[in-house]
Amino acid sequence: MKSQYDILIIGGGPAGAIAAKTAKEKGLEVGLVEKRPAIGAPVRCAEGIGKKLLADFIRPDERWIAAEIERATIIAPDGTTMELAHEMAGSEVGYILDRKVFDRELIWQAADAGAEIFVKTRAIAPILEEGKVIGAKIEAGGDVTEVKADVVIAADGVESKFGKWCGIDTTVPMREMETCAQYVLADINVPQNVTQFYLGNETAPEGYVWVFPKGKRAANVGIGISGKKSGPGHRAIDYLNSFVRKHFPEGKPIELIVGGVSVCKPLECTVSDNLMFIGDAARVSDPLTGGGIYNALYTGKLAVDVASKAIANGDTGKKALMEYDRGWRSSALGKALERNHKIKEIFITLSDEKLNSIVRSISKINMKEFDTFTLIKELIRVNPKLSLELGALWASIR
Ligand SMILES: Cc1cc2nc3c(=O)[nH]c(=O)nc-3n(C[C@H](O)[C@H](O)[C@H](O)COP(=O)(O)OP(=O)(O)OC[C@H]3O[C@@H](n4cnc5c(N)ncnc54)[C@H](O)[C@@H]3O)c2cc1C
Identify the CATH number of the domain in which residue 64 sits: 3.30.9.10
Does the beta carbon of 49 sit less than 6 angstroms from any atom of ligand 1?
A: yes
Co-location of 257 and 192 in the same domain: yes
Q: Rounded CA gap, 160 and 293, in Å?
A: 16
Please give the distance, rounded to the nearest whole angstrom, from the Cα atom of residue 234 to the centre of ligand 1: 25
Co-location of 274 and 304 in the same domain: yes
Please give the distance, rounded to the nearest whole angstrom, from the Cα atom of residue 44 to the centre of ligand 1: 7
> In the prediction, which pLDDT does 1 show?
95
Indicate the number of domains in the chain.
3
Mean pLDDT, the chain, whole residue set: 92
Region 72-77 average pLDDT: 94
Q: Where are the beta strands (DSSP E) in the chain?
A: 4-10, 30-34, 48-49, 65-68, 71-75, 81-85, 95-97, 116-119, 121-129, 132-140, 143-154, 177-186, 194-198, 208-213, 218-226, 252-262, 271-272, 275-277
Among 156, 160, 240, 283, name the best residue to mutate to test ligand 1's pocket (greatest count of ligand atoms within 8 A of Cβ). Answer: 156
Whether residue 310 is predicted with pLDDT greater than 70 in this model: the reply is yes
> In the prediction, which pLDDT does 92 show?
47
> In the prediction, which pLDDT does 370 show?
54
CB neighbours of 269 closer than 8 A, spacing ≥ 6? 325
Please give the distance, rounded to the nearest whole angstrom, from the Cα atom of residue 189 to the centre of ligand 1: 29
Region 99-103 average pLDDT: 97
Characterize the bridge pairing of strands 30-34 and 116-119. Answer: parallel
Atom of ligand 1 nearest to the CA of 182: 1
Region 314-337 average pLDDT: 97
Atom of ligand 1 nearest to the CA of 293: 11
What burial letters (b/e) apply to 69-93, b meaning 16+ CB within 10 Å?
bebbbbbbbeebebebebebbbbbb
Co-location of 180 and 254 in the same domain: yes
| Boundary residue ending a domain (262, 291, 318) | 262
Does the beta carbon of 50 sit less than 6 angstroms from any atom of ligand 1?
A: no
Region 187-215 average pLDDT: 95
Predicted TM-score of the model (pTM)? 0.94
CB neighbours of 157 closer than 8 A, spacing ≥ 6? 11, 13, 279, 280, 281
Atom of ligand 1 nearest to the CA of 294: 11
Coil, strand or helix at 186: strand
Does the beta carbon of 182 sit less than 6 angstroms from any atom of ligand 1?
A: yes
Domain that holds residue 112: 4-40+101-171+267-330
Co-location of 128 and 230 in the same domain: no
Q: Rounded CA gap, 222 and 231, in Å?
A: 18
